[in-house]
Structure 1
Amino acid sequence: MTTATTTVSSSAVALDPPTLRLRSPDETEAKVAEEYRYAHLLPHFSTDRYPPLTPFDHVDPGLRALSLPNPRDFLDNATSVTELTPNIGTEVTGVNLATLDASGRDQVALEVARRGLVVFRDQQDFIDRGPDFYLDWGRHFGRLHIHPTSGHPAGYPEVHLVYRDANSTFNFEIEGSITTTSWHSDVSYELQPPGLTTFFLLSSPDTGGDTLFTSQVATLSRLSPQFIAFLRTLKAVHSGIEQADFSRSGKRGATVRREPVEHVHPVVRKHPVTGAEALYVNRQFTRRIVGLKREESDAILRFLFDHIDKSADNQARVKWRPNTVVLWDNRITAHSATVDFKETGERRHGARITPQAERPIPASADLDLGA
């Protein structure tokens, strides 16, 4: 994190007060932007408009790694590999993501599919290679998603940005709640939501702003077999309308570049590489269960959302350090930022690379998503 600070000594004030001049707010902001190392990656809100997304065939790169004699040899030179929790998360040091070849990237995809979340420390080389490299990296894992409402670096709409500082926020934050946590799987309203996602902070508070993750495989497994069998028969509507309306109201940059969509996904999905079954609902985007009456749908979703929120034994917490890159699999996890640093006024500036994956595969082969 880079912080610009101007210090004036008391002796200088006493000796030569006429030389002092206070900067206007506009001048101060311009000076901070000028001195900020990642100013070229600050949020830009273009007025471009995009047509609806079209379906595409996705082959998960983790499948290629399954055929390797050792699908984890990208970790051979790691200095530390530590499981964050039994259910989710691994922390790795000593591996330079930026120098991995195609096979190494395939192995990363498989590792993330198996662990849900992998935290790579000491990745300044990766972060400093810039947006052209980010796009090349992301395309290895799928078609890059362009977010319909978020800010992006100028000229790079495929790089989704989160941003908050003392004067502004460009995040999808809902006010009026007793908590800032909002569990979600990124843009789950798309027909083909993301699979492996890469995220890093370019600037972070001295403390706070952690990201929480939960294993949707573990949250599902804690339920009774009879209830899981019932959930496998259900499908739910995921909607991007509320997010678009949030931007249309003037927040987050007031930009909607693609009309919002709703799509139906299985409540329990199956991972195409590992075969793991995972709960696939989230409080931010899942609106109703198809075929149930409103009260029935609300009761089930409320129970599942509360289960996701409260199951700390299924969760991991990532504390950000400079030059950390985090990869997770949106198909089997949910996550939430924590905005506990708001009063400090510090900058939290993050970039996300979001390749799309397959349309969610129902855990039950008998579930018809089109009906």
Structure 2
Amino acid sequence: MSTTSTVTAHETSGSIKVKAEEKQEQTEYKYAHLLPTFPKDEHYPPLEPFEHVDPGHRALQHPNPRQFLENAKVSQLTPPAGEEIRGVNLATLTNDERDELALEVAKRKVLVLRDQQDFIERGPDFWLEWGRHFGRLHIHPTSGHPDGYPHLHLVYRDKHSTFNYEHSDRTIATSWHSDVSYERQPPGLTTLFLVAAPETGGDTVFTSQVTTLRRLSPDFVAFLRTLRATHSAHEQAEFSRAGNRGGVVRREPVVHEHPVIRRHPVTGEEALYVNRQFTRRIVGFKKEESDAILNFLYDHIDRSIDSQVRTHWEPYTVVLWDNRVTAHSAILDFTEEGAVRHGIRITPQAERPIPANPDLKLN
């Protein structure tokens, strides 16, 4: 794994000299075949609904649902969420052990697995097979992907450019979100690893949306259970259409309603399900009313220090998290150093969010 590479995804400088240097760097970079591409002729139809069966359900029937951790060293990262695990090789887990892993992710929200060189070096075809065990793989409508592998989402920034969904007009770069929450069936168990990372900085921070919800007063939570909110892909699509990221939109943007509080299909836990990046409006409320509720919740999430897990990207680290019950953000504290941060995300979709209030109807 590279920690100090200085490569670029494609030629962005007007300088011939810089372009030549970039081309040489790409040739020498071990993971150049995983750099983001943005084919202009790549388009996909709208996503169709599908039935999702969470693999964690199967693990509930196992005599020991944590059998896969029998010879591992497991350290709790914080009481609300997070475990660091050493001694488990993700690449060799059986299907039953993958189911147990899914249940552990659902319960602990974030798993940080160290020493996963075997998993990372197996390459794209294996990563796709891995992801399909947990759900239908998502093709991101605007992000870069490795050539020939549209189901692999890339996070990428180098000294010349960024291909992430970033905005530079805020005083704080932290941007809490749940991945592509605008989809009718957003992701569940998600896998991310970095193949190039800054020597320092570039961590990822997670917050438990189960815990952020529990911090609220019971009467307010009861009120939130009655609410639906829209999540929109339009702003992200327009960001790309404006020439940012890679300038492509592979699938037309959508807007979907989700419950403000959702219930996890395996654990039954309730979690707050709004995020500043994609949530837009409380359904049925006037703009000022909606803004007041959502901005309070966004600020509450922003300040959720006592619900958070911060992951430092040691070489050959793989992080798994449940997008249904967490929010996360990259920490962009390395950008002035010009370092490379190059990650691969495997993003299986899950069920349509289940309202905590069974009487809540979604359009």
TM-score, normalised with respect to structure 1:
0.94
Q: Give me the whole-angstrom Cα distance separating, in 1, the residues matched to 2:4 and 2:267.
A: 43
- Residue in 1 aligned with 2:290? 297
- Residue in 1 aligned with 2:43? 49
Q: Give me the whole-angstrom Cα distance separating, in 2, the residues matched to 1:152 and 1:342.
A: 22
Q: Give me the whole-angstrom Cα distance separating, in 1, the residues matched to 2:319 and 2:27.
A: 28
Q: CA RMSD in A?
A: 1.0
Letter in 1 for 2:50: F
- CA displacement at 1:26 relative to structure 2: 2.0
Listed as ranges, the gaps of 5+ residues in structure 2 are 7-15
- Residue in 2 aligned with 1:27? 20
Q: Give me the whole-angstrom Cα distance separating, in 2, the residues matched to 1:181 and 1:26.
A: 31
- Residue in 1 aligned with 2:189? 196
1:74 is aligned, of 46, 68, 74, to 68
Letter in 1 for 2:315: P
- Residue in 1 aligned with 2:11? none
Letter in 2 for 1:350: G
Q: Is the 8 A contact 1:143 1:355 kept in 2?
A: yes
TM-score, normalised with respect to structure 2:
0.96
Letter in 2 for 1:153: P
Letter in 2 for 1:273: V
- Residue in 1 aligned with 2:227? 234
- Residue in 1 aligned with 2:122? 129
- CA displacement at 1:34 relative to structure 2: 1.1
Q: Give me the whole-angstrom Cα distance separating, in 1, the residues matched to 2:143 and 2:119.
A: 23
Question: How do 1:179-328 residues align onto structure 2 when only pairs under 5 Å count?
Answer: 179-328=172-321
Q: Give me the whole-angstrom Cα distance separating, in 2, the residues matched to 1:24 and 1:252.
A: 23
Q: Is the 8 A contact 1:2 1:37 kept in 2?
A: no
Q: Tell whether 2:108 aligns with 1:115.
A: yes
Write out per-residue CA displacement over residues 113-144 of structure 1, whole angstroms, 9 at most, x where no aligned residue.
Answer: 00110000000110010000010000000000
Write out per-residue CA displacement over residues 26-80 of structure 1, whole angstroms, 9 at most, x where no aligned residue.
Answer: 22111111111111100011221000000000000000000001000101121x2
Q: Give me the whole-angstrom Cα distance separating, in 2, the residues matched to 1:309 and 1:73.
A: 36
Q: Tell whether 2:109 aligns with 1:150.
A: no
Q: Give me the whole-angstrom Cα distance separating, in 1, the residues matched to 2:231 and 2:312.
A: 29
Q: Give me the whole-angstrom Cα distance separating, in 1, the residues matched to 2:324 and 2:19.
A: 43
Write out per-residue CA displacement over residues 169-193 of structure 1, whole angstroms, 9 at most, x where no aligned residue.
Answer: 1000011111110000000000000
2:343 is aligned, of 347, 350, 353, to 350
Write out per-residue CA displacement over residues 329-371 of structure 1, whole angstroms, 9 at most, x where no aligned residue.
Answer: 000000000111011111000000000000000000000112x
Q: Give me the whole-angstrom Cα distance separating, in 1, the residues matched to 2:171 and 2:158.
A: 21
SS in 2 for 1:24: helix
Q: Give me the whole-angstrom Cα distance separating, in 2, the residues matched to 1:271 and 1:44.
A: 35
Q: Tell whether 2:80 aligns with 1:87.
A: yes
Q: Give me the whole-angstrom Cα distance separating, in 2, the residues matched to 1:247 and 1:201.
A: 23
Q: Is the 8 A contact 1:4 1:35 kept in 2?
A: no
Write out per-residue CA displacement over residues 77-136 of structure 1, whole angstroms, 9 at most, x where no aligned residue.
Answer: 21x201110001000011000000100100110000001100000001100100000100
Letter in 1 for 2:221: I
**Sequence identity (%):** 69
Q: Give me the whole-angstrom Cα distance separating, in 2, the residues matched to 1:209 and 1:327.
A: 17
Q: Give me the whole-angstrom Cα distance separating, in 2, the residues matched to 1:322 and 1:33.
A: 20
Q: Which has the larger radius of gyration?
A: 1
Listed as ranges, the gaps of 5+ residues in structure 1 are 6-22
Q: Give me the whole-angstrom Cα distance separating, in 2, the residues matched to 1:25 and 1:291.
A: 53
Q: Give me the whole-angstrom Cα distance separating, in 2, the residues matched to 1:205 and 1:58.
A: 37
- Residue in 1 aligned with 2:9? none
Question: CA 1:310–1:3 in 2, change beyond 3 Å: closer, same or farther?
Answer: closer
SS in 1 for 2:229: strand
Q: Is the 8 A contact 2:4 2:198 kept in 1?
A: no
Q: Give me the whole-angstrom Cα distance separating, in 1, the residues matched to 2:71 and 2:149.
A: 33
Letter in 1 for 2:213: L
- CA displacement at 1:24 relative to structure 2: 2.5
- CA displacement at 1:3 relative to structure 2: 4.1
Q: Give me the whole-angstrom Cα distance separating, in 1, the residues matched to 2:209 and 2:3.
A: 35
- CA displacement at 1:4 relative to structure 2: 5.8
Write out per-residue CA displacement over residues 307-330 of structure 1, whole angstroms, 9 at most, x where no aligned residue.
Answer: 000010011100111100000000
- Residue in 2 aligned with 1:59? 53
